[in-house]
Structures are given as structure tokens and as C-alpha cells.
Amino acid sequence: MTSDWEKLKRDPRVVWAVYIALALLLLTLPFVTDWAFGRSWVRIAAFSLLYIMLALGLNIVVGYAGLLDLGYVAFFAVGAYFYALLASPQFGVHLPFWMLLPLGAAIACLFGILLGAPTLRLRGDYLAIVTLGFGEIIRIFLVNLNAPVNITNGPQGINLIDPVSVGGYSFAQAHSVLGLGFPAVYNYYYLFLALTLGVMFVSMRLENSRIGRAWVAIREDEVAAAAMGINTRNIKLLAFAMGASFGGVSGGLFAGFQGFVSPESFTLWESITILCMVVLGGMGNIPGVVLGAVLLVVLPEALRYLGPLQQALFGRVLADPADLRFLVFGLALILVMLLRPSGLWPSTTRRRELSADPDATKPHEATA
């Protein structure tokens, strides 16, 4: 049975059929979602794509290189505020989107190097505490950089941010193509989808490259990796830089999509949520990370319907839907970590490492 399944997975016709079905699903998702659940869920789908990019960036640091980062939201904030400051009345500068997005990624990359440089000798809990502090420092700076010179507008945030526009095509306006109406949220969905696919492609190429194998070697045993000639300092810095650049891209898209940014959007809770996406889906496995990001964006929104459900079943609301939403969300995370410690869709290596089946560990032991 297993052999037949393996043959089926390797059949090119089956592979292409899956790719085509997935492409059709992604292309028609806004129309289907709008018709079935309402336009608000199209917006949730767009946010899912943003968080997929963030989770893929953190996956480079945590999943590939094995460096625990609890301040990843800082790079998200850097990208968002860079876009907001240079595309709003705050400084009176309105640079185009095609210039701001790569510059924001570069600035976030620089901040990633600034974070990674002093933490090269730290591991585990110590690294987590330092990165957590870095994230909080960035947030506090954003709150307080409104005096004596107003740069970030403090806790009030920055509004009136220019919407995304490319070649005269404004993504904030409704358009009609071949008789099909494309509201603003549809436009942003397709833009985010294109960039998410680009980030996934880069992640896949990095995973199978010499650099990706060096990250995995450091994750498994840094001392052994250094003994084999890997420059662990530069490779770890590169992991922080690449992960941060993905966060900067997501931050710029977030600012253009929302039209408003404030420090409240970049709290520690956001970093923990993104880390949960990586761990829940499966560290080091791109499809697993995508699955984890989608679940942790969609599940809390779906649990908002617990209030109407109680009303329909009992005639009144017995418990606050907000409390129930986080209770069910937390219980779901606990159950998954207890029952699937390697994640919902782990990589083959990760599954083998955490498997309790002795037969499953034989290939790993033979390799070692």
C-alpha cells in the first residue's frame, strides 16, 4: 500500500494535476470566498498571505538555522514604518511603491545583521531573551520617537499612507477586467499572492542550496559544522539578514494595504504568533509553514462565530465569545503539540528525529 502511494506521488501526471488544481483554487479563491462568506473573508485571505511571508522569513532563522528568535516582529515593524514614513504626509515624501518595497527589505536586512552580530555566541534561551528585548526596543522607539523631533508620530501612528500603485494601476481602486469586477481587496489579494509565491520560490532555492545545507548543519551541531569548515558566523548572520528581509517586504505591504500603522500592531504577541505558525506547521518544511500560517490566521476568525452558535443552540450567549475564542485556540495548540510534536506537516528529517517508532529512526542512525 505504501509503495503504491509513493509511486502515485511521484507520477508526473498526478503532480501536474495537483499543481493545476491548486493554481485554480488560488486564482478563484476571492470570488468563491466573497460569494460564500462575504468580502471580509477575502481580506482575511489577503492577511493570510502576509503572514505566510512572515512565517517563511522566520522559518529561515528558526527552521533552517535553529536560532530561536522572539523579536521577529521588529523587522515587520521596520518595513512597515519605512514605507509609511516615505509614502505619507509625515515627511511630505511620496516615493513610488516599486522603490519603497526593495528599500524596505534592504533596511530590514540591515537591522537583521545588527541583531545577529552581537548574538552570535548565544544559543537557546539566551538568544530568545536577547531577540525578545530587541523587538521590544524597536516598539518602544516607535512609541517615543515623537519628541523632541516628531519622527514616528508616537502612539498615534501614521495615517494617510499612499496605497500601492504600480504603473498608474492603483490597487486601492476597483477595476474591471474582461467583464469581471476586481474590488480593492481583490487587487491586494493577487498582489500578495504573487509576492508570496516569489518568497516561497526563494525559500525553496535557499533550502536546496549550499547555504541552506550549511544552515541545517549549524542547526544539528554547530561545533561539528565549524569543524567541517563552515563559517558559522557569516552563515548565521545571513540567516538573520534573509529572514529579516522577508519581514521588511511584508511590513511594506501591510502599510500600503492598511493605510495606517501604529506601534500596537507590532507587539510581542505578534512574534509569538508567527513563531507558533512555524512550529505548528512544521519547522523547516515550507508546505508545513504555509499550513500553519493559514490555520493560525483563519482559526481565530472562524471562532468568532461561537457567539451566534451559542445563540442558535441555547437562545442566549452563555460565555463571552472573545474568551471562548482564545480558550479554544489555546487548547488546539496544546493538543497539536502533544499529539504532533513535529508539527502538522513536518519535514522528513524532523519527523524521523521526533518519531517514537524505532523503525523510523533506523535511516537516521545509519546515516549518523
The per-residue pLDDT for 363 is: 43
Q: How far is the C-alpha of 214 from the C-alpha of 218, rounded, in Å?
A: 6
Report the first-to-last Cα separation within the chain, whole angstroms: 29
The per-residue pLDDT for 364 is: 42
6 — pLDDT class (breaks 50, 70, 90): low
- 3-class SS string, the chain: CHHHHHHHHHCHHHHHHHHHHHHHHHHHHHHHHHHHHCHHHHHHHHHHHHHHHHHHHHHHHHHHCCCCCCCCHHHHHHHHHHHHHCEECCCCEECCHHHHHHHHHHHHHHHHHHHHHHHCCCCHHHHHHHHHHHHHHHHHHHHHCCCCCCCCCHHHCEECCCCCEECCEECCCCEEECCEEECHHHHHHHHHHHHHHHHHHHHHHHHCCHHHHHHHHHHHCHHHHHHCCCCHHHHHHHHHHHHHHHHHHHHHHHHHHHCEECHHHCCHHHHHHHHHHHHHHCCCCHHHHHHHHHHHHHHHHHHHHHHHHHHHHHCCCCCCHHHHHHHHHHHHHHHHHHHCCCCCCCCHHHHHHHCCCHHHHHHHHHHC
**If you search the block for the grid coordinates 520560490, which residue do you land on?**
201
Return the bridge partners of 260, or none: 159
The per-residue pLDDT for 343 is: 86
pLDDT for 368 beyond 80 = no
Q: Contact 163/170 with Cβ under 8 angstroms? A: yes
Bigger pLDDT: 13 vs 129: 129
303 — pLDDT class (breaks 50, 70, 90): confident
The per-residue pLDDT for 302 is: 85
Q: Contact 81/158 with Cβ under 8 angstroms? A: yes
Task: Find, among 206, 251, 209, 233, the residue nearest to 106 by Cα.
Answer: 251
Q: Contact 237/113 with Cβ under 8 angstroms? A: yes
pLDDT for 67 beyond 70 = yes
Bigger pLDDT: 96 vs 181: 96
pLDDT for 29 beyond 90 = yes
pLDDT for 262 beyond 70 = yes
The per-residue pLDDT for 187 is: 94
pLDDT digits (tens, 9 = 90+) for 277-294: 999 998 889 999 999 999
Q: How far is the C-alpha of 68 from the C-alpha of 66, rounded, in Å?
A: 6
Return the bridge partners of 158, or none: 261
Is the N-terminal amide bond of 155 cis, ω within 30° of 0? no
Q: Which three cell numbers stand for residue 311?
A: 445563540
pLDDT for 3 beyond 70 = no
pLDDT digits (tens, 9 = 90+) for 310-365: 788 888 877 777 777 778 778 888 888 888 888 888 877 666 666 654 444 444 44
The per-residue pLDDT for 107 is: 97
Percent of the chain whose pLDDT exceeds 70: 92
Mean pLDDT of the chain: 88
Q: How far is the C-alpha of 293 from the C-alpha of 47, rounded, in Å?
A: 10
The per-residue pLDDT for 348 is: 72
